[in-house]
Chains A and B, each alone.
Chain A
Amino acid sequence: MRLDINDKGFEVADADHLTLLDVLRDRLELTGTKLVCDRGECGACTVLLNGEPAYSCLTLAAACEGVSITTIEGVARNGELHPLQQAFVENDALQCGYCTPGQIMAALALLERSPSPSESEVVHWMSGNLCRCGTYPKIVRAVLAASRAMNGDETDGAGSDGD
């Protein structure tokens, strides 16, 4: 099958029975997308399919032919972090980092459909992504900061306290 991942074409053989997650991780070594619960509960495997968030552990790769797939590896462009990635770094919105790719993919989809979400909207939207390190307050903070940065609001933005 032919997959379009991060605007690049990939040929994958004998993968009709595989999930998109296993193709990404084990065939293409795109290991930023994580395998955790393997049952659509934790969100660590979140990718975008035509811009919509999807659990790649529950998605057959074969169903993704002709679909534009975006993984965490495709979010930064030309070596420049996406404002959302920047906001995660600056707000320390990660600890071990294992859930982070999924968190960022889910938040990207949110900001795509709702460029200026309220705090409760962010909390609700991100509830499908678990973080066992308990970084939730800073994840919410980072998504809101990214929203402001992407809307050109320079007044606040990503505020690590800067001492």
Chain B
Amino acid sequence: MATRSNGRRFVSTRVEVEGREEVRTVELPAFEVEPWKAGAALEIVGHCALRADGVDKVTGRARYSADIQRAGMLHAAVLRAAIASGHATVDLSRVRSLTGVRDAVAGGDIRPVEVNGLPLLDATVRYAGQPVAVVCADSREEAELALRAIEVAYEATPHAVTAAESLAPDAPHVRPTGNSPDVSPRVTERGDVDAGLVEADVVITREYRVPAALHTALEPHGAVAEWTGDHLTVWESTQGVFNTRSDLAAALEIPISHVRVIQDYMGGGFGAKNGASTNAYIAALMAQRTGRPVRCVNDREGEQMDSGHRPTSVQRVTLGAKRDGTLTVIVLDADVALGIGGWEGGPGAIYQELYRCDNVRTTENFAYTNLGAMSSFRAPCNVEGAFGLERAMDVLARELNMDPLDLRLLNYAASNQGKNTPYSAKRLDECYRAGAERFGWWVRDGATRTPGGNGSAGGALVDAARKPRAKSGRLRRGYGMASQIWGGGGGPPAYAMVRLEPDGSADVLTGTQDLGTGSRTVFAQIAAEALGARLEDVRVVIGDTERTPYTGNSWGSITVASVGPAVRMAAEDARSQLLEAAAGILDTTPDRLVAHNGVVRLRRGTRSLTFAEIGKHLGDVMIVGHGSRGPNPDDTTLSTFGAQFAEVEVDVDTGVVRVLKIVAVHDSGRIINPALAESQLHGGIIQGTGYALFEERVVD
């Protein structure tokens, strides 16, 4: 663990970003607050407080970025390429004179701004749905109507929309720099795969294909931009106001302090809103040109074609095991179609990490294609990787005549073998066992099994019992289970302030976002617990780069683990100051005082002061507590785990699948609010079910 003992306040540390790690400079906090121990007597944290913004959301008062209205605001509409590759010659001459139209631009009319490393509104079309022109008008109708008056002459050239097409020897050029990122193929290897294959008694090879999935958050990508002199304010639907700020400042070549990004409420993100959106660039540029505020919100075409997706992959998997089920080799060869850009999000990581195996090789071939760029999508890489790996494990279990759960328990990875580090805590085995118990895994389809895993006989089933109960009927039952592993440990930097108001209430100021996860609520709970305040007296102010201190993106399931400790530290700091103030009034010392439920009182004795009474004494003296997230321990992997079990019924005539039951057991660290955590689980399970059974982006 990095500490200040070496005298340095600012040091470098590894920080987890969406399953990847980056080295960043962090500040070591002046003091560190010990984590609450398991079993600590907490009165607010760990309890089902109602969502802090529930009333605002059920009354329509909550203002999302797309709801922002500014005086004189124009509406931008975007014309998108009707071809996947080629050249677009745009004629705007008929557009500018239309009623309500205030401005219209194509490539060359605006300053060069890059999105995904390619010029915005480029006449060279590199993907289907690429923006080629923008119209600004007094109303949304007029802007959208004006798009129809734009004349575009297309020269189409051959395109590649699958990884196979893009990686073929005679493939068309997808990006100027080539059809693959520099890292491709990315090979990650440990041990000796050939030896592992020789060692295996049973080897299976399968190919799995996962489709592109679209986030389709209810609130589309969108932004409102307004210039005041050379300062820009942007209301953006984003998972990172500070990331959006730096993106915009860089693109517009203005000082970062001249950009203010605000987001009060957000209608979902799921990974697709991690930086400045195309909409934000367009709104900012058009507002600069027109001298008026501009709103640019995706229409349905823009949202589905050009706002990110989970990339498709073809996963060729080979697993080898000894007769007793011990894995001897894991090999993955995957082709991943990224679209026109994004990052190298391949399925390999979970193959490296989930099971104990000495010989593992993953090869990920990344291909750019002439479709919109991929983006993170809810545990990017691991969801699609889990699909391939866990299906292959089921096949292997069948070959070995083992129960699928026994095979997983037998090959349990106690440490992170790929990184050669221990986990800070790993209770996946408990998730397996508790889930199996609650699901009735060992007595499914009427058979009784003995959990085993300690040899070929352990957990093996009587053959007859393994068969579906209704083998010949139209409706048949199926049972499955799979594992979840994902980061979620969070890290620095993240800052918070807790400010006590004269009326005894407290404001938490932190630059994070609430995507709908409930971060506003859980940070209020953490602050109230640490401060000794009443929950209803704590207000959380988030999502404003000018008025709140820095926190990173709300991505990778890290927000509570990153921002929570900073909030707690700020609240502890504020409480210390509050007790000092109260000690002066009560003529005692702070160590004899305790803050609880909005009241400071003597530990022994009856005298007390409410926070409001202390505030009255203090007048305009303001107590401000500061908190920051310290670095993570060195050489330890912080992860979350889970196991899910499903029972489905399949109509073999129609193919209709009914999900009858899902049991999910997760090891997610301290749960701040069980009701909100449950809502998150419902959402993840339903979205995952949608992906498994229904969802696929189809482009014609």
Contacts and interface: CB of A to CB of B under 8 A. Distances in A.
Interface of A: 17-18, 22, 25-26, 29-39, 42, 44, 71-73, 75-76, 81, 85, 88-90, 92, 94-101, 104, 130-138, 160-163
A163 B46 CA distance: 9
A12 to B, nearest CB: 12
Instruction: Select the residue from A18, A36, A99, A101 with max chain B CB neighbours within 10 A.
Output: A36
B48 interface: yes
Nearest to A71: B60
5 contacts: A36-B219, A73-B60, A92-B675, A96-B267, A136-B682
B503 interface: no
B686 A134 contact: yes
A13 to B, nearest CB: 12
Interface stretch (B157-165, B463-471, B481-489, B513-521): B513-521
Given A26-B69, A100-B58, A101-B60, A36 B679 contact: no
B65 to A, nearest CB: 11
Nearest to B673: A92
Contacts of B223: none
Contact of B50 (A26, A37, A89): A89
Nearest to A133: B683
A46 B496 CA distance: 38
A35 B218 CA distance: 9
B50 A160 contact: yes
A132 B300 contact: no
Contact of A136 (B64, B675, B686): B686
B220 A36 contact: yes
Given A85-B59, A95-B518, A18 B51 contact: no
B300 A37 contact: yes
B686 A88 contact: no
Does more than half of chain A's interface fall in helix, strand or loop, or is it mixed?
loop
A44 B101 CA distance: 28
Nearest to A21: B140
Given A73-B59, A88-B54, A132-B217, A97 B516 contact: yes
Contacts, number: 147
A90 B49 CA distance: 9
A98 B683 CA distance: 14
Nearest to A88: B58
Given A97-B516, A98-B268, A132-B687, A137 B682 contact: yes
B203 interface: no
B672 to A, nearest CB: 13
A134 B684 contact: yes
Contact of A96 (B56, B61, B217): B217
Contacts of A76: 59
Given A18-B139, A89-B54, A96-B218, A161 B59 contact: no
The 3 A-B pairs at the shortest CB distance, nearest first, are namely A32-B60, A96-B516, A98-B267
A97 B48 CA distance: 18
Contact of B682 (A30, A85, A97, A138): A138
B675 A161 contact: yes
Contacts of B616: none
Contacts of B674: 161
A97 B50 contact: no
Contacts of A161: 48, 674-675
Contacts of A162: 48
Contacts of B141: 17-18, 22
Interface in B47-98: 47-48, 50-51, 53-64, 66-67, 69, 75
Contacts of A37: 300
Contact of A38 (B48, B218, B300, B685): B300
A94 B58 contact: yes
Interface of B: 47-48, 50-51, 53-64, 66-67, 69, 75, 139-141, 215-220, 265-268, 270, 297, 299-300, 515-518, 674-676, 678-680, 682-687
A85 to B, nearest CB: 4
Nearest to B215: A132
A104 B268 contact: no
A25 B295 CA distance: 13
A97 B687 contact: no
Contacts of A25: 67
A74 to B, nearest CB: 9
Contacts of B516: 94-98, 133
Contacts of B47: 163
A26 to B, nearest CB: 7
A160 B679 contact: no
Contacts of A131: 218
Contact of A134 (B54, B266, B518, B687): B687
Contacts of B58: 72, 81, 85, 88-89, 94, 97, 100-101, 104
Contact of B140 (A22, A42, A73, A95): A22
A104 B60 CA distance: 10
A75 B59 contact: yes
A72 B679 CA distance: 23
A155 B195 CA distance: 67
B679 A138 contact: yes
Contact of B48 (A104, A135, A160): A160
Contacts of A97: 53, 56-58, 62, 265, 267, 516
Contacts of B300: 37-39
Contacts of A71: 60
A152 to B, nearest CB: 21
Contacts of B216: 132
A56 to B, nearest CB: 13
A75 B58 CA distance: 9
A117 to B, nearest CB: 19
Nearest to B686: A134
B270 A132 contact: yes
Nearest to B216: A132
A134 B48 contact: no
A72 B682 CA distance: 25
A83 to B, nearest CB: 11
B515 A26 contact: no
Given A76-B59, A81-B59, A96 B54 contact: no
